[in-house]
Amino acid sequence: MPTITIKAAEGDRYIEFESGRSLREVLDSTPFRVRSGCRGTGACGLCRVQIIGDGAAEPNPAELIYLSEKQIASGMRLACQIWPEGNLQVSIPRRESAASWRAMAARSRVFPVVSSSLPECPGEPYGVAIDLGTTHISISFYCLSTGQWFAGRRGLNPQRTHGTDIMARLVAAHESPETALALRRSVVDAIGSAIMDVATSEGICGEQVVKAALVGNTAMLGLLSGRNSHLLLQPSYWMRPIDCLPEDPGELRADWGIHPEAQVEILRPLAGFVGSDLLAGVFAEKLIEDEPGKLFIDFGTNSEISLWDGETLWVTSAAGGPAFEGCGISCGSPAEPGAIYRVCVSGQAGPELAQRDGSGCVPAVFKSNAAGLDLEFRTIDDDNPLGLCGSGIIDLIACLLESGVITRMGRFSSGVPNATILLLNGDRQALQLTKRDVDVFQRAKAAIFSGVKVLLAKAAMSEREIRSVFVAGAFGRFLNRESAAAVGLLPELGEKTPKGAVELCGNSALKGCEELLMSPGAADAIEDLRNRARIVNLAQCEEFDDFFLEGLYLGRWAGHNVDRQ
């Protein structure tokens, strides 16, 4: 039987395999998983390996899109495009890891003491709020006897090994009951391990968790419960309610290692691709209070958008793809240590970017000359650059657009050879921006643009009537508001609106879930939101195509109809 030799820092590892499977499939059954976001179709370019010596066939067209001639000459390949027949030696530059939990910064939120009847437990009672996201899982612990925040964790959703986008996971679950079970098991176990991580590090036991609340998008809830997630593959269900909650949420208590009689509440989603995470976020940001003209956008592979007109909460979802999460782009990276989150022309960072997260620490700066521009790059945790996450991609395109390197139609200027810009030498590979990368970003941006424009049309409002924009999700953590407006991702607000009218609200879904966990009236208030919501299916809107084409242009909203070059 042929053998794959994994060359790793901890020593060589030998894996026997049978032919007929891709290298990615072989590695996925071992601790040496590779990153993947497209279920092995070659569409994401993440599963890079280095082949040492001979043994692999010539690269195919999918690999030539993501790998340069120099990389291929060095042995760099895509694992999903290699079907080994004989012995092979492989080095894996970026291994996929299981969910690893990082502590959240302390939160100052304090709620009234929870007085509802709770089961007796050994010690102080705790509650946990859980945001089950496509890319990340976040949890918050609260002490129920004091109402104070206790601890929190955030980590990657381990389902990513089956695809970075929602549809890839849904297809995988639909095609194979075994894969569906693996997807469910991985995320249930991940939540349990996050709870255990807090318990062991903070000196409590799992049985002290007597209450849990969970929100998530519809697909994640369906995969968690194992119920009806396949309906999301049918367009007729994309904007219809789907029964996707566990029939008995209490069954999760044992899986999570919490109190055997703990109260477990999972907030049902609004519709097919409008999850309970949106409801929780809209509730947390008090969108329907005060004046109309509030816009809420939760950026992601499936971006959810809400607009409050004073009477109705207009809601839709836009399938922009994973570009905002740094996937599907040759120089992209998820928002993790080493991801470039900020790009600017040297000397133009501005005082707001000199420090990060209130730590008072000046971030490390990586510099290069790209397309005649002296650029500065900053990375998460100051690690060596791995790639650009969503906010970094937006900054980069804004810089190139302002300098004329990229036109409003997304074309490179004549001074850019081969329509490729070398940005800098990353930690493990050269990072470069291609015309295809710009195209991917333009389509993602156009999806958001058209979603907002459709909702404005339904509400009989103009963009000038938008008073405030709430940007939710991990994407908004590092977003530069000016760059987002410059490329046309966000509308520019009028002079009469407050200076901070574009609010980066972070994980609003988790904040709303904390309210659900700790505030007795939160569930009723969220139901009121549900009753005020009107769901709009973009696929059934005649004006969508025109808006989408308009949104492809790079530049500020006010100028989308002029000076198109």
Contacts of 33 (CB under 8 A, 6+ apart): 27, 95, 96, 97, 161
From residue 214, give the alpha-carbon distance in Å to each of 13, 130, 307, 507: 40, 5, 24, 14
For 395-529, where are the E strands, in sequence order?
420-425, 430-434, 468-472, 502-506
pLDDT (average), residues 377-382: 84
Segment 1-5 mean pLDDT = 87
Q: Indicate the pLDDT class of residue 84, thresholds 50, 70 and 90.
A: very high
Whole-structure pTM value: 0.81
Q: What angle do CA 367, 371, 376 make, to 5 degrees?
A: 20
Mean pLDDT of 173-177: 94
Residues 143 and 256 in one domain: yes
- Highest mean pLDDT among 20-24, 186-190, 366-370 belongs to 186-190
517 near 509, Cβ under 8 Å?
A: no
Report which residue type is found at 52.
I
**CA–CA separation, 182 and 176 (whole Å):** 10
- Does the residue 111 lie in any domain? yes
CATH code: domain of residue 236: 3.30.420.480
Same domain for 451 and 545: yes
Number of domains in the chain: 4
Q: Please, how many CA atoms are within 13 Å of residue 107, restricted to the half-sphere of its CB?
A: 22
Q: 339-355: buried (b, 16+ CB within 10 Å) or exposed (e) per residue?
A: bbbbbbeeeebeeebee
How far is residue 329 from each of residues 115, 389, 441, 453, measured CA to CA in Å?
A: 50, 10, 8, 26
Please say whether the beta carbons of 434 and 420 come within 8 A: yes
Which tops the pLDDT comparison, 565 or 310? 310
Q: What does the block give as tokens for 554?
A: 């790079």
303 and 349 in a common domain: no
Beta bridge mates, 314: 307, 534
Q: Is residue 342 part of a domain?
A: yes
232 shares a domain with 124: yes
- What are the pLDDT digits (tens) for 116-146? 788 999 999 999 999 999 888 999 999 999 9
Per residue in 185-209, pLDDT (tens digit) is 999 999 999 999 999 888 899 999 9
Q: Are residues 139 and 269 in the same domain?
A: yes
- Which of the listed residues 376, 400, 432 is the one where a domain comes to its end? 432
Integer Cα distance of 456 and 450 in angstroms: 10
pLDDT of 358 over the 60 cut: no
pLDDT level of residue 367 (50, 70, 90 thresholds): confident
Q: Does residue 253 share a domain with residue 391?
A: no
Which residue range is the domain that position 86 belongs to?
3-91
142 lies in the same domain as 213: yes
**pLDDT over threshold 50, residue 565:** no
Q: Is residue 531 part of a domain?
A: yes
Task: Assess whether 521 and 495 both reside in one domain.
Answer: yes
User: Where is the domain boundary, 399, 432, 465?
Assistant: 432
Residue 564 lies inside a defined structural domain of this protein? no
Say how far apart CA 421 and CA 330 lie, in whole Å: 12
Percent of the chain with pLDDT over 90: 54
Residue 195, in any domain of the structure: yes
Q: Are residues 234 and 361 in the same domain?
A: no
Question: In the prediction, which pLDDT does 484 show?
Answer: 93
